[in-house]
């Protein structure tokens, strides 16, 4: 697993916008991204995005990706190649010609998980998906108007992984190795 990659996060967002017909509600998108990361962790003991996870009022969120969705990040070139600046509560593909074949950062396994998550929630609105995360993502805790980190260890624990501490430590070790090579 690698450090967070803007291009990969943009491609995950683009996948769901594409599946929704080219644009998608922000709340629904943010929840689907979290659920896809969580599902991948359940199946493969690793997240797709290696993002910072947080509890917010509307449920669990991939924090860095959410900042890109909201236009809060400076380095936007890789993001803008796939996703336009949000318009109100809607995220739109940057180019109507984007297809799944253009999402080259995503492995077959990652695409399969995105497809599974989309298949489960495609007919739901953002509030229904939010309510689902409140009920079934037990790692989420209501931050009462703030935000609170969700450690990977906690996600693995609520996924029922017996070795949740080891899995979380492995993610942190891989992050440290990636940082060493990035700085070296």
Q: How far apart are the C-alpha atoms of 167 and 67, rounded to whole Å? A: 26
pLDDT tens digits along 105-139: 999 999 999 999 999 999 999 999 999 999 999 99
Section 153-160 average pLDDT: 95
Q: How far apart are the C-alpha atoms of 78 and 145, rounded to whole Å? A: 31
Domain boundaries defined on the chain? 6-183
**Angle in degrees, 0-180, between the axes of helices 108-121 and 26-44, rounded to the nearest 10:** 130
Does the pTM surpass 0.85? The reply is yes
pLDDT above 80: residue 181: no
Mean pLDDT of the chain: 91
pLDDT above 90: residue 67: yes
> What are the helix (H) ranges across the chain?
6-19, 26-44, 63-69, 77-80, 108-121, 126-136, 152-158, 164-183
Q: How far apart are the C-alpha atoms of 36 and 116, rounded to whole Å? A: 8
Q: How far apart are the C-alpha atoms of 11 and 106, rounded to whole Å? A: 8
């Amino acid at each position: 697993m690698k450090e967070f990659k803007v291009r990969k996060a943009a491609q995950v967002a683009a996948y769901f916008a594409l599946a929704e017909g080219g644009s998608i509600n922000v709340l629904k998108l943010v929840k689907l991204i979290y659920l896809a990361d969580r599902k991948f962790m359940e199946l493969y003991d690793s997240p797709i995005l290696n993002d910072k996870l947080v509890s917010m009022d509307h449920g669990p969120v991939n924090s860095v990706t959410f900042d890109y969705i909201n236009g809060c990040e400076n380095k936007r070139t890789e993001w803008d190649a796939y996703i336009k600046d949000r318009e109100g509560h809607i995220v739109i593909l940057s180019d109507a010609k984007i297809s799944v074949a253009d999402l080259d950062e995503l492995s077959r396994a990652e695409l399969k998980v995105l497809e599974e998550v989309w298949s489960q929630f495609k007919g739901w609105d953002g509030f229904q998906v939010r309510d689902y995360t409140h009920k079934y993502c037990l790692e989420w805790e209501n931050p009462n108007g703030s935000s609170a980190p969700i450690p990977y260890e906690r996600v693995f624990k609520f996924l029922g992984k017996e070795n949740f501490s080891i899995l979380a430590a492995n993610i942190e070790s891989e992050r440290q190795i990636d940082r060493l090579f990035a700085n070296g």
